Chains A and B, each alone.
Chain A
Amino acid sequence: MPEFAVLHEKPHSFYSLYERKGELQHQTHYCPGCGHGIVHKLVARAIDELGIQNRAILVSPVGCSVFAYYYFDVGNVQVAHGRAPAVATGVKRAHPESIVISYQGDGDLAAIGSAEILHAANRGENITVFFVNNAIYGMTGGQMAPTTLVGQKSTTSPFGRNVWNEGSPIKVCELLNALDAPVYLERVALGSNKQIMAAARAVRRALEVQMRGQGFSLIEVLSPCPTIWKKDPVEAQHWVAEELVKTFPLGVVRDRTKDAPVRPASAAPPALDKIPGILGLEQDDPGPTVGGPAAREPVELAVKVAGFGGQGVLLLGEVLAEAGLASGLQVSWLPSYGPEMRSGTSNCHVRIATRPIASPLVLRPNVLLAMNEPSLRKFLPTVEPHGLVIYNGAACPADCLRPDVTLIAAPFAQLADGLGGARAANIAMLGALLEAAPVPFESQVPNVLRKLVRSPKWLEIDLAALARGRQAARQEVAS
């Protein structure tokens, strides 16, 4: 008796029994003659041959292949319609050693998921995409797909696809070929024995690209859908070979498998005890304790800093808050934000207090630093009686005075300009504040400036401006 050996059998990467499938656990849920079963088989065989079953993670979104996890004995993630390339990105980046396969249909990939596939391809994600194109929505019962042929009837193109209404079929491989990153793009088909064998080779090659770490590959498989096409399986197969290929020509669209570089491996993660340092939370000095010596006298500063964007309003507030914090006081800093960051008015609310700060908002400041006239006009009425107002101008406008507040006006911008930069006007005004109000944290201000102002040139100007501002306030108070 001649001895025979198994040449081809069910790949090991399939479950022997499909226990996740409720009934008929020995056969797939696909219709007779459906191309999905063949593509599944080609993928599973390639996984077997390449020895990657344990590393493989299959991402299956909505479509007839939504239940791919019934069959594939690999890690499985089932996802939303069209989002497989995004999910695959998250999986692959978490585990670069895994082999991530995105298995998608035409509605999924080329319609609702068109953004996700385009950008995953453009990033050169090191994943493999198997794109099953049967030119129709199968699962939902035969609606038009983005790949439906011109003139082809579907339940949502009952008169045939009309280019003037629905546009032309999307050629995914050619579209992705416009991008720099993809390594390997090929369109294959299941229309004949020869085409199926070419598809098997392409499937395997695409997985090898990922195994080598080269990046993105996509195999588009023209696949029969006999049920929805209303053809018997053999006719459907012929239709793939004779009709689909006219719109979607077969062949390699992109092949950089020989020269595409291997994506650089990410560096080993730092040890856990290095993390606080990486985040800038290294505890060089323990810093002041809350309620320290500086807090003996009650402080309750509610500062509004206001001016134009670019005048250093936010920085001035930050210096105040940092200095308060360095003295062991409670602080808060709240900016106006948004368009104001780019142009127009800018202001921030700073509170510095001995007791915990209830609200960080300063609607009734007891200190107003107004860096221009509109800010002075806007906020002067809100200042608490007996408050302090420092104004960046030679003198307050005559119609802009309040007898119940202390007003200090000086041309801080000009003073700063004389020191090397009008932009230091904010720090000159801070100097004036330190001079005019008994704040317990003034000694911290130079240290804070050293911390926040990185440029040695500007630090020098700022420190000079601080002194000049103080001098201006002394003169102003004396006058």
Chain B
Amino acid sequence: MKTGDRGRVDLDSEECKGCGLCVEACPPKVLALASHLNRYGYHPATYSGEGCTGCGICYFACPEPGAIVVWRLKAEARPVAQAA
């Protein structure tokens, strides 16, 4: 993970059906469908590992209830928040 990313995304490759809606939805375009297949035969969505802004849009675009968890940098960890 690149330092300075505001967000992080965890994708459950076994829950993912490879629909690609999160890839389409992701504003910074840091998600992609993997070239490998998961055990149900889908190309699961994967995170490139850097550039997530923590916007959460992929979470709402994803039709599987628990396939995506979005994390965001804690407020106190941010320099601005510390100053305040």
Chain A interfacial positions (CB closer than 8 Å to B): 2-11, 14, 16, 24, 26-28, 30-38, 40-42, 44, 71, 193, 196-197, 200, 226, 232-234, 237
B residues 23-44 near A (Cβ < 8 Å) are 24-25, 27, 40, 42
Contact partners of A34 in chain B: CB under 8 A: 63
Asked if residues A4 and B71 are in contact (CB atoms below 8 Å), the reply is: yes
Q: When the two chains form their complex, are residues A33 and B63 in contact, meaning their CB atoms are under 8 A apart? A: yes
Q: Could you tell me the distance in whole angstroms from the C-beta of B49 to the nearest C-beta in chain A?
A: 14
> With A and B bound together, what is the CA distance between A32 and B62 in angstroms?
10
Which residue in chain A gives the minimum CB-CB distance to B14? A26
Check B20 for interface membership: any CB of A closer than 8 A: yes
Tell me whether B50 is interfacial, beta carbon within 8 Å. no
Q: Total interface residues on B, using CB and 8 Å?
A: 38
Q: A44, B60: Cβ atoms under 8 Å?
A: no
Complex contact B60–A196 (CB within 8 A): yes
A232 to B18 Cα, complex, angstroms: 11
Contact present for B63 and A37 (CB under 8 Å): yes
Q: Which of A37, A40, A234 contacts B24 (CB 8 A)?
A: A234
Which of B19, B60, B73 touches A41 (beta carbons < 8 Å)?
B60
B84 adjacent to chain A (CB < 8 Å)? no
Q: Which residues in B have some Cβ–Cβ distance to A below 8 Å?
A: 3, 5, 7-8, 12, 14-15, 17-21, 24-25, 27, 40, 42, 54, 56-57, 59-74, 76-77
Q: How far is the CB of B24 from chain A (nearest CB, A)?
A: 5
A residues less than 8 Å from B54 (CB atoms) = 7
Q: Which residues of B contact A24 (CB under 8 A)?
A: 40
Query: Chain B nearest CB: distance from A192 CB in Å?
Result: 8
Q: Which of A4, A14, A42, A71 meets B72, CB within 8 Å?
A: A4
* B69 A9 Cβ-Cβ under 8 A: yes
- Find out whether the CB atom of B64 lies under 8 angstroms from the CB atom of A28: yes
Pairwise interchain contact B65-A37, C-beta atoms closer than 8 A: yes
Q: List 6 A-B contacts (CB under 8 A).
A: A2-B5, A4-B7, A5-B73, A8-B59, A28-B65, A33-B21
Residue of B nearest to A197 (CB): B60
Report how far A220 CA is from B84 CA in the complex, Å: 43
Are A10 and B56 touching (Cβ within 8 A)? no
A193 near B20 with CB under 8 A, answer no
Q: Are B25 and A193 in contact (CB-based, < 8 A)? A: yes
A40 and B20 contact, CB distance less than 8 A: no
Q: How far is the CA of A90 from the CA of B77 in the complex (A)?
A: 52
Write out the residue numbers on chain B whose beta carbons fall within 8 Å of the beta carbon of A33.
17, 19-21, 63
Least CB distance from B2 to A in Å reads: 10
Known: A2-B77, A8-B70. A233 touches B62 (CB 8 A): no
B70 touching A38 by the CB < 8 A rule?
Answer: no
Residue on A nearest B12 in the bound complex, by CB: A26
Q: Say whether B69 contacts A8, CB under 8 Å.
A: yes
Tell me which of A14, A200, A226, A233 contacts B66 (CB under 8 A): A14
Are A5 and B71 in contact, CB atoms less than 8 angstroms apart?
yes
Report whether A3 and B60 are in contact in the complex, using a CB–CB cutoff of 8 Å: no
Query: Would A32 and B61 be within 8 Å (CB), given that A232-B20, A233-B19, A233-B21 are in contact?
Result: no
Measured between beta carbons, the chain A residues less than 8 angstroms from B5 are: 2
